[in-house]
């Protein structure tokens, strides 16, 4: 197949029924920086492009390989055109929006320029307003919903009850209120986040679409442990994701260090490394170094660093239990979806327990007759001891397996792709010409 020029690709995709997405997209290379947003975008778009023959243009962050790329039999065009650390981030995106002038539906993911820091956050609303001024329909994916910055006090090094915290909280409220004015729809990935957002945005403006669960070819625990050089008789407690205060990594490492002698047959694996957005901050460098020192002196704790995408499944397959010790629920957890995809039992902190209030999870727990208390722990030494006791009791682990399997089935990608297509992408320009009604957005 002859390679097409950028001009030819733009002409091919510049059609009213194409969907334009501003986000990230996974890349390959020697040092790919694939954030969760890139994984999520691929996970949700590719099944829809394949099953329904939908066309997408993804404007993504630049990486190692920045030539135009086509995926899913030429239905997805990825253009890596912007650098979130540069001031020309927004002008560059607007330039390409102008090139695709026939596309009417624009989907913007809140995390697309996250490495740009606070100035990126401040310019999102004017950016959306400029897109809206062109007459386009905007669907905004709010991957995080924060109504009180104090839930991230230790993460961002902001003092509670400070003038700075109050100013940020006021800015957040103004941001969400304005978001409803410049978008047609705001999508969140968790019912608890939708409830939080509904304090600022009308409920009929919000759609809930849980993160889909991929279907994996199962790797046996024996094979996974062998690959990771973990003794077969060891019980594995897995923490997956960036090592941050918000995710409770420090509490987990320090508390496990204090309890590890009581559970000599248990290995804690931290499958993650430093946060991209915080790595250069002095307070974070001190935070991370302290945790590294604890892990170095305790052979039962391993900080594995960043996990290559191809190895994610191996880590979850090796785990007997995935733990989510988050200090709050800021956004739906992609790590949680990885646990479901690999049928790995899980437990969550009380501060994260709101995610268990989603309708489908409530129905699952009623179906398998497991109370939510079996899945929740407190941020205390007793709380972690409860987790470790559960990990080492076969009967308890069996019940958690049943919950995990049932949620994974409910959120399987073959089911969620249908819902997402019907909700977001089905009714476009050709449908309007045919006289079909526009599908009403709804909570799911």
Q: What is the pLDDT of residues 255-298, one digit of tens each?
A: 999 999 999 999 999 999 998 778 888 999 999 999 999 999 99
Structure tokens given for 122: 């401040």
Integer Cα distance of 318 and 237 in angstroms? 9
**Residues of the chain where predicted confidence (pLDDT) is lower than 70:** 1-2, 28-35, 87, 113-120, 150, 152, 154-156, 427-444
- How far apart, in Å, are the Cα atoms of 370 and each of 11, 350, 357, 374? 55, 17, 14, 7
Adjacent-strand bridge partners of 187: 141, 207
Looking at residue 277, its pLDDT comes to 76
Q: Which residues contact 272 (CB under 8 A, 6 or more apart)?
A: 239, 240, 241, 242, 243, 249, 303, 304, 305, 306, 307
Q: Are 236 and 230 in contact (CB under 8 A)?
A: yes
Query: Residue holding tokens 């941001």?
Result: 175
- Tokens 């002038």 appear where? 101
Measured CA angle at 184 (ends 182, 187), to 5 deg: 105
pLDDT digits (tens, 9 = 90+) for 405-434: 999 999 999 999 999 999 999 865 444 444
Distance, C-alpha 118 to centroid of its chain: 20
Neighbours of 336 (CB within 10 A): 24
H helix runs in 298-346, sequence order: 312-318, 334-341
Q: In DSSP terms, which residues pair with 188 in a beta bridge?
A: 208
Three-state SS sequence of 365-387: HHHHCCCHHHHEECCCHHHHHHH
Using an 8 Å Cβ cutoff, are 171 and 217 in contact? Answer: no
List domains and CATH numbers for the chain.
6-212+413-433 (3.40.50.2000), 221-410 (3.40.50.2000)
- Would you say how long the chain is, in residues? 444
At 50 the pLDDT is 95
Strands 76-82 and 69-71: antiparallel
pTM assigned to the model: 0.85
Q: What share of the chain is helix, strand, coil (3-state, %, to 5)?
A: 50, 15, 35
Task: Give CA–CA dist 277/35, Å, rounded.
Answer: 11
């Amino acid at each position: 197949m002859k390679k097409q020029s950028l001009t030819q690709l733009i002409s091919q995709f510049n059609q009213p029924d194409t969907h334009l997405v501003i986000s990230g997209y996974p890349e390959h290379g020697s040092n790919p920086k694939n954030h969760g947003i890139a994984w999520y975008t691929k996970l949700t778009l590719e099944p829809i492009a394949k099953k329904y023959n939908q066309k997408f243009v993804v404007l993504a962050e630049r990486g190692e390989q920045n030539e135009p790329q086509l995926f899913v039999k030429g239905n997805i065009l990825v253009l890596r055109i912007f650098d979130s650390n540069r001031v020309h981030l927004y002008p560059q995106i607007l330039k390409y929006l102008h090139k695709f002038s026939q596309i009417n539906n624009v989907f913007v993911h809140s995390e697309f320029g996250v490495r740009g820091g606070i100035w990126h956050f401040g310019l999102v609303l004017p950016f959306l307003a400029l897109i809206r001024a062109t007459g386009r329909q905007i669907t905004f994916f709010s991957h995080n919903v924060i109504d009180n910055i104090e839930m991230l006090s230790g993460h961002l090094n902001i003092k509670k009850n400070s003038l700075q915290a109050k100013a940020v909280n006021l800015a957040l409220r103004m941001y969400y209120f304005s978001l409803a004015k410049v978008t047609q729809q705001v999508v969140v990935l968790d019912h608890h986040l939708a409830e939080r957002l509904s304090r600022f945005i009308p409920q009929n403006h919000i759609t809930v679409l849980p993160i889909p669960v991929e279907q994996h070819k199962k790797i046996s625990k024996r094979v996974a442990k062998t690959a990771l050089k973990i003794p077969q008789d060891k019980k594995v407690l897995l923490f997956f994701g960036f090592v941050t205060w918000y995710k409770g990594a420090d509490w987990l490492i320090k508390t496990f260090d204090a309890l590890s002698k009581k559970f000599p047959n248990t290995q804690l694996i931290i499958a993650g490394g430093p946060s991209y957005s915080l790595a250069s901050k002095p307070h974070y460098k001190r935070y991370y170094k302290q945790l590294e020192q604890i892990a170095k002196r305790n052979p039962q704790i391993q900080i594995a660093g960043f996990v290559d995408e191809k190895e994610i499944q191996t880590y979850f397959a090796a785990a007997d239990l995935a733990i989510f010790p988050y200090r709050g629920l800021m956004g739906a957890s992609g790590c949680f979806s990885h646990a479901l995809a690999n049928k790995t039992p899980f437990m969550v902190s009380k501060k994260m327990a709101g995610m268990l209030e989603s309708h489908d999870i409530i129905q699952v727990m009623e179906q398998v007759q497991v109370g939510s208390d079996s899945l929740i722990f407190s941020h205390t030494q007793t709380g972690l001891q409860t987790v470790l006791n559960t990990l080492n009791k076969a009967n308890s682990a069996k019940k958690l397996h049943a919950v995990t399997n049932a949620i994974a089935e409910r959120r399987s990608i073959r089911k969620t792709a249908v819902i997402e297509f019907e909700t977001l992408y089905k009714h476009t320009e050709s449908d309007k010409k045919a006289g079909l009604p526009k599908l009403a957005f709804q909570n799911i």
